Amino acid sequence: MASLTKKKRVLKNGNINYYWQLTYYLNKQRYRKNFKKKPTIDEIAKLTKTVQKNPYFLNAIEDYITSCSLHCKESTLETYKNYNKVTLQDLHFKRIKDLSREEMNKFFVDLKTKKAPKTYNNILMFLKGFFNYLIEIKVLNESPIKKIKSLPLGHKQAKALDTEVRECFIKHSQRMPFWVHLFFMTMLNMGLRISECIALETSDIDLINKKMRVNKQFYRYRVTSTKNYETRVIDMPDILCELFKQHKPNTHIVFGTENGYASVNNIRERYFKRVIEAVEDELDLNLSDITPHCLRHTHATYLLSNGIPVKCVSERLGHKDSKTTLNIYNHVLPSDNQKAIDLLNKMNGHSLGTVQKLKA
């Protein structure tokens, strides 16, 4: 087994020098070697002498996950490790070259009955990357799953609160503890993910310039970078600024508790669920499919349906590009086609009159 890690060293002149450190084992002894540049797979294989012609699946998949640590977020690595631990156990002690196309087809047929389509697709993409890695290091010549296709997911429309439900939700959230009301108003007015809202610190709130900085999230009990690694600075509406002026957190964490960061489950089950139940009772509706994430959808839907450019909304949401925003919220712009036709009719109004006269 071997692992490659990117390291940094502070020089005497204050400059930072980056290098790569390879840790490997030979004859039960641990060795380390530093490289100025990232070593190639052949260089690693030559040094460690550990490349097998037909390794066990378990050893190969662990090496692959280690290689992923160079470019994947920690949360992604945890997901990969969980796939390996829970889903791929039956493959662990099979030799890589003994995995036939038929056996892998059978594995995925069985997986389809156990996992949701999205999870199935994620595991498929993970294993396709793994087998491509084995081809790259010349363990395999061809992937046994290259012809297996992902499952169709269908378009899942983002759920947003309509005007009546939104106003009723705000009214009932005001009856919760003040920080809870502020938390939900922040999600609604800023379009934040629940993990981003939990991670907010007092230094991220600039009430003088009415700005909010979003550069982290609280995910799986730790603070990490945002979903796409980006930092965004968003303008805050007046109502939210006024609420933040009234909020006096005990720590540097805006929505902190005695135990540190707020609990996602506590927010969902203890507070959000109670507010939604109150809205259901008042409006006689079934809102069982509404989650805190719907507040983010409501933010985007409201802005887009009122003519705010997609690029602006995309930046507020922290999407990688406007295409992502359009794919999710395209359904909230049904009137655009009619607007286009109305404009074209207006542009050609005079010509249409002339055509009708000629026809007469």
Is the model's pLDDT at 257 over the cut of 50? yes
Mean pLDDT of the chain: 87
pLDDT at position 4 is: 79
How far is the C-alpha of 242 from the C-alpha of 237, rounded, in Å? 9
pLDDT > 70: what percent of the chain? 89
How far is the C-alpha of 150 from the C-alpha of 127, rounded, in Å? 12
> pLDDT, tens digit, for every residue of 311-351?
999 999 999 889 888 888 877 665 556 677 777 777 776 55
Of the two residues 259 and 84, the one the predictor is more confident about is 84
pLDDT at position 36 is: 85
* Ranges of each domain in the chain: 2-136, 163-332
pLDDT at position 210 is: 96
Is the model's pLDDT at 358 over the cut of 70? no
Is the model's pLDDT at 163 over the cut of 80? yes
pLDDT at position 81 is: 93
How far is the C-alpha of 89 from the C-alpha of 126, rounded, in Å? 15
How far is the C-alpha of 355 from the C-alpha of 37, rounded, in Å? 73
Return the number of other C-beta atoms located less than 10 Å from residue 37's C-beta: 9
Average pLDDT over every residue of 269-286? 96
Total length of the chain: 360
Q: Which residue pairs, CB below 8 angstroms and at least 24 apart, start in 136-144?
A: 136/41, 137/41, 137/45, 137/51, 139/51, 139/52, 139/53, 139/54, 139/55, 139/60, 139/96, 139/97, 140/96, 140/97, 144/99, 144/100, 144/101, 144/103, 144/104
Closest C-alpha among 36, 40, 49 to residue 2: 49
Between helix 178-190 and helix 163-173 the angle, nearest 10°, is 150
Most confident listed range (53-62, 221-230, 286-295):
286-295
pLDDT at position 320 is: 87
- Whether residue 137 contacts residue 45, with contact meaning beta carbons closer than 8 Å, is answered with yes
Average pLDDT over every residue of 275-294? 95
What fold characterizes domain 163-332? hpI Integrase; Chain A (1.10.443)
> pLDDT, tens digit, for every residue of 185-208?
999 999 999 999 999 999 999 999
pLDDT at position 345 is: 78
Average pLDDT over every residue of 15-43? 78
| Main-chain dihedrals φ then ψ at residue 222, nearest 5 degrees | -150, 160
Is the model's pLDDT at 357 over the cut of 60? no
> pLDDT, tens digit, for every residue of 62-77?
989 988 887 887 788 8
51 pLDDT band, cuts 50/70/90, is very low
How far is the C-alpha of 35 from the C-alpha of 47, rounded, in Å? 12
How far is the C-alpha of 26 from the C-alpha of 66, rounded, in Å? 18
- Whether residue 65 contacts residue 84, with contact meaning beta carbons closer than 8 Å, is answered with yes
Could you write out the three-class secondary structure of the chain? Answer: CEEEEEEEEECCCCCEEEEEEEEEEECCEEEEEEECCCCCHHHHHHHHCCCCCCCEHHHHHHHHHHHHCCCCCHHHHHHHHHHHHHHCHHHCCCEHHHCCHHHHHHHHHHHHHHCCHHHHHHHHHHHHHHHHHHHHCCCCCCCCCCCCCCCCCCCCCCCCCCHHHHHHHHHHHCCCCHHHHHHHHHHHHHCCCHHHHHCCEHHHEECCCCEEEECCEEECCEEECCCCCCCEEEECCHHHHHHHHHCCCCCCECCCECCECCCHHHHHHHHHHHHHHHHHHHHCCCCCCCCCHHHHHHHHHHHHHCCCCHHHHHHHHCCCCHHHHHHHHHHHCCHHHHHHHHHHHHHCHHHHHHHHHHHC
